[in-house]
Amino acid sequence: MSNWTDTLSSLGARFHIDEAAQVEDFGRALSAAELADGFVATVTDLGIIAVAGEDAASFLHNQLTNDVEHLGQAEARLAGYCTPKGRLQATFLYWRSSEENRDAVYLQLPRTIQPPLQKRLTMFVLRAKAKLRDATEEAPFAAVLGLGGAKGETALRRHVNTLPDAPYGKVSGEFGTVIRLADVFGAPRYLWFTSAETATAALPGLSGELALGGNQAWHLAAIHAGVPQVTAATQEQFVPQMVNLELLGGVNFKKGCYPGQEIVARSQYLGKLKRRTALATVANPAARAGDEVFSMVDPGQPCGMVVNAAANGLGGADLLVEMKLDALGEDVRHGVAGGPALAFQHMPYHLDAIDI
């Protein structure tokens, strides 16, 4: 079987679930404990914009919060794309293509916001020698697998001999492209972009030794890694520092101008309100990005907003929540004042207070 969709359908049938659920979570939500042990996830809700041409890197360098011109072949980075007011319209994982097509840069983002973002970026190409296209369904990216947890690296090495040594390292070859992302649960986390044929051959074996999940599992892992993703529900809600983007290396304060750069820089040095994004759990599996949260110390107005949410396999949801840092020690509720309480967890990195 060479068709990737057919492969997912076959695996879904193994779990006796309907077609609509197959690419979501194969019938159930994985828990953080299962992810920590080792998992493989089929990632189907993230798309890819290819920006190709001799000015591709310089064009993106002038649009994104991070350095693109000096991005190496063996690395990937995070970045944001802001409005002129410094509010994030999107967050990306980005990397350069293989050596034979070295002028192309790829941007990964949620499929739901890809078309308007791609259209907006295209408007600013002007005379630059760069063209944007949707590369989501192209052969090198036809299948996307996320792996992690204690058993994940060993399982992946059965198919990819050489893996990146550190987070945001990248390797490419006949197997496709593997990017190591921020670690989670004390173990490496990887994205493997490959052909449908390669993934079709590898996935049955991987799912035999690792917990098999879909988009829920992948997003839950990212939440526990503390890595935010701007979605349709949260566009233009945050400056980069509110979602810890600069703590993750996604903002370069020394690079040249980009939309919103003055606001982002001012927020770093001259802002007023202390806000960050924290990790929390809530006993509500329906929690979604864009939901407001309320401190019972001042329940009349929201103290923050859910950035990302994923069912946690235990009847609730795990969240990344942007909020006032002072409220972290308070009784904070989801959705409405008096709603279910948030239980805060330790982030995988230190939350330095910043005036925003």
| DSSP labels, 75-92 | BEEEEEEE-TTS-EEEEE
Q: Which residue type is seen at 340?
A: P
Backbone phi, psi, residue 93, to 5°: -100, 130
Which residues pair with residue 342 across a beta bridge?
282
Q: Rounded distance, CA 187 to CA 209, Å? A: 16
pLDDT at 7: 73
Residue 280: enclosing H or E segment and its boundaries? strand 275-282
Residue entry with tokens 């980075």? 77
pLDDT at 345: 95
pLDDT at 271: 62
Q: Which residue type is seen at 342?
A: L
* Per-residue CA distances from 48 to 13, 92, 138, 142, 225 (Å): 28, 10, 9, 11, 22
Q: Which residue type is seen at 147?
A: L
Instruction: Using the Cα atoms of residue 265, residue 267, residue 270 and residue 274 in order, give the sign of their dihedral.
Output: negative
Cβ-based neighbour number of residue 136 at 10 Å: 17
Q: What is the mean pLDDT, run by run of 10 residues, along the chain of 356 residues? A: 67 52 73 98 96 94 96 96 96 83 86 97 93 95 97 97 96 96 97 96 95 97 98 97 95 91 82 82 97 96 97 97 91 96 94 64
Q: What share of the chain is helix, strand, coil (3-state, %, to 5)?
A: 30, 30, 40
Q: Rounded distance, CA 152 to CA 188, Å? A: 8
Q: Rounded distance, CA 61 to CA 65, Å? A: 8
Q: Which domains does the chain have, with CATH numbers?
A: 1-46+62-95+135-269 (3.30.1360.120), 271-356 (2.40.30.110)
pLDDT at 103: 75
pLDDT at 355: 56
pLDDT at 6: 73
The tokens of 113 are what? 């916001």
Task: Let me know: does 268 contact 73? Beta carbons within 8 Å.
Answer: no
Task: Let me know: does 250 contact 80? Beta carbons within 8 Å.
Answer: yes
pLDDT at 193: 97
The tokens of 125 are what? 């190409």
Residue spans of alpha helices (H) in the chain: 4-14, 19-25, 32-37, 56-61, 114-123, 152-157, 196-209, 215-225, 261-270
Query: What pTM, to 2 d.p., does this model score?
Result: 0.94
DSSP 33: H
The tokens of 135 are what? 């590369």
Q: Rounded distance, CA 122 to CA 228, Å? A: 25
